[in-house]
Amino acid sequence: MIRLESVRKVFPGATAPAVTSLSLEIPEGEFVTLVGPSGCGKTTTLKMINRIIEPTSGTIEVGGQDVLSIEPHLLRRSIGYVIQQVGLLPHRTVEQNIATVPRLLGWPRDRIEARVAELVEMVGLEHEMRDRYPAELSGGQQQRVGVARALAADPPVLLMDEPFGAVDPIVREHLQMEFKDLWRRLGKTVVFVTHDIDEAVRMGTRVAILNIGGILEQYDRPEEILANPASEFVARFLGEERGLRRLGLLPVSSATLERGPVVDVSAGPSEARAVMDRHEVDWVGLLDGNRLLGWVPASEIGSTPLRDLEPREFLVRLRPDDSLRRALDAVVTSRTRVGVVVGDEGYLGMLDVETVAEEITE
């Protein structure tokens, strides 16, 4: 656990404090994102945790220990640190870079070697890259090395300062997802600074929104912040598409699904017509037990048994863990104006615009 209490930082010569008086508790195993406009003191706050920047006053504890009571270089060896420009040592190979902290800690050679091999795999690098120099890697690969290096000595806490800010958007999204997965597996406490609200709500299990001068405006679960911004500042910072962003965080399984206009292929054409009438639609979905076969338009339903019809595919099938934002997109782009949800065990139900809208306003 990381605890900040009344932490203040005034840089020499500055008129206003960078961080006025910040108190924040980060429970063990949480992924906390610090987000805010430039000048909000998010990076300063992060760097005070590993004493790259010394606080003017206040207390910072990591794992119950006051950081000011530990020699800075010893403290830092127990805290992973990743920065935007990565900061790999250009004159050291990938392998030597990853081994930096274990070497400082004096691990025996074979233990370091085994750990490096493990990490290279963990962050998704190729083994033949171990002998390369940083300049021979792409930006995304460099940041993977940066993450591996931070994890090398298995620190309980990871500090990350806009770690994916310097790579292009596609690679960034990839790295974000991979890192979130890695975090789930490793259970580290992560403090992650970003200026990108989308990244903050997507990555964090908790989001701390900071205003100029390190004023904590809101500190909560991302869904909660998007649903109930605590202040005008937070609402403005979250921006126009707050509802959509919130949908991006909620899984389809959190919505109440309806069975929708579906009939089993064993039913007769008259039953199919009855279902369409009840739902006021001109198509019907066909089920074979739990299996969703597709849909047929009303015009094709005559006297032929349903089993002999050729159903059209639903172009987008949602899974329960897809986001509601994706579901909304599926709904508005589909011919039938519904999103069908199919899980491992078969057809689960449908949702329409109304269902999604209810989740936004909830």
Q: Can you tell me the distance from the alpha carbon of 22 to that of 42, in angstroms, rounded to the nearest whole number?
A: 11
Least distance to other proteins, CB of residue 85, Å: 4
Least distance to other proteins, CB of residue 140, Å: 12
When asked if residue 168 is in the footprint of other proteins (CB under 8 A), the reply is no
Q: H helices within 250-307, ranges in order?
A: 269-279
Is the Cβ–Cβ distance between 117 and 154 less than 8 Å?
A: no
Is the Cβ–Cβ distance between 336 and 283 less than 8 Å?
A: yes
Among 19, 26, 86, 284, binds other proteins (CB under 8 A): 86
When asked if residue 136 is in the footprint of other proteins (CB under 8 A), the reply is yes
Among 132, 180, 195, 273, binds other proteins (CB under 8 A): 132
Least distance to other proteins, CB of residue 102, Å: 10
When asked if residue 81 is in the footprint of other proteins (CB under 8 A), the reply is yes
Q: How many helices (H) and strands (E) does the chain have?
A: 14, 16
When asked if residue 135 is in the footprint of other proteins (CB under 8 A), the reply is yes
Complex with other proteins: residue 7 or 83, whichever CB lies closer: 83
- Between the alpha carbon of residue 226 and those of residues 188, 292, 328, the distances in Å are 25, 35, 17
Q: Can you tell me the distance from the alpha carbon of 49 to that of 63, in angstroms, rounded to the nearest whole number?
A: 12
Stretch touching other proteins by CB under 8 A, among 12-20, 85-93, 257-265, 268-276: 85-93
Stretch touching other proteins by CB under 8 A, among 19-27, 87-95, 187-195, 256-264: 87-95
Among 115, 144, 149, 245, binds other proteins (CB under 8 A): 149
When asked if residue 142 is in the footprint of other proteins (CB under 8 A), the reply is no
Full DSSP string of 235-252: HHHH-TTHHHHHHHHSBG
When asked if residue 115 is in the footprint of other proteins (CB under 8 A), the reply is no
Backbone angles phi, psi at 161, to 5 degrees: -110, 100
Q: Which two tokens stand for residue 125?
A: 């690098």
Among 90, 106, 108, 302, binds other proteins (CB under 8 A): 90
Among 28, 65, 89, 304, binds other proteins (CB under 8 A): 89
When asked if residue 192 is in the footprint of other proteins (CB under 8 A), the reply is no
Among 34, 67, 94, 101, binds other proteins (CB under 8 A): 101
When asked if residue 11 is in the footprint of other proteins (CB under 8 A), the reply is no
- Between the alpha carbon of residue 143 and those of residues 29, 55, 87, 95, 122, the distances in Å are 22, 28, 9, 14, 13
Per CB under 8 A, contacts with other proteins among 241-280 are none
Q: Which two tokens stand for residue 191?
A: 């403090």
Label residue 91 exposed, middle or buried (CB < 10 Å: 0-12, 13-18, 19+): exposed
Binding residues for other proteins, rule CB under 8 A, total 31
Least distance to other proteins, CB of residue 123, Å: 16
Complex with other proteins: residue 162 or 217, whichever CB lies closer: 162
Complex with other proteins: residue 103 or 279, whichever CB lies closer: 103
Contacts of 254 (CB under 8 A, 6+ apart): 324, 359
Among 6, 57, 65, 138, binds other proteins (CB under 8 A): 138
Among 8, 10, 21, 77, binds other proteins (CB under 8 A): 77
When asked if residue 52 is in the footprint of other proteins (CB under 8 A), the reply is yes
Full DSSP string of 59-125: EEEETTEEGGGS-HHHHHHTEEEEETT----TTS-HHHHHTHHHHHTT--HHHHHHHHHHHHHHTT-
45, HSE (Cβ side, Cα atoms, 13 Å): 37
* Number of neighbours of residue 162 by Cβ within 10 angstroms: 19
Complex with other proteins: residue 96 or 218, whichever CB lies closer: 96
Q: What is the contact surface with other proteins in residues (CB under 8 A)? A: 50, 52, 73-78, 81, 83-92, 100-101, 104, 132-133, 135-138, 146, 149, 159
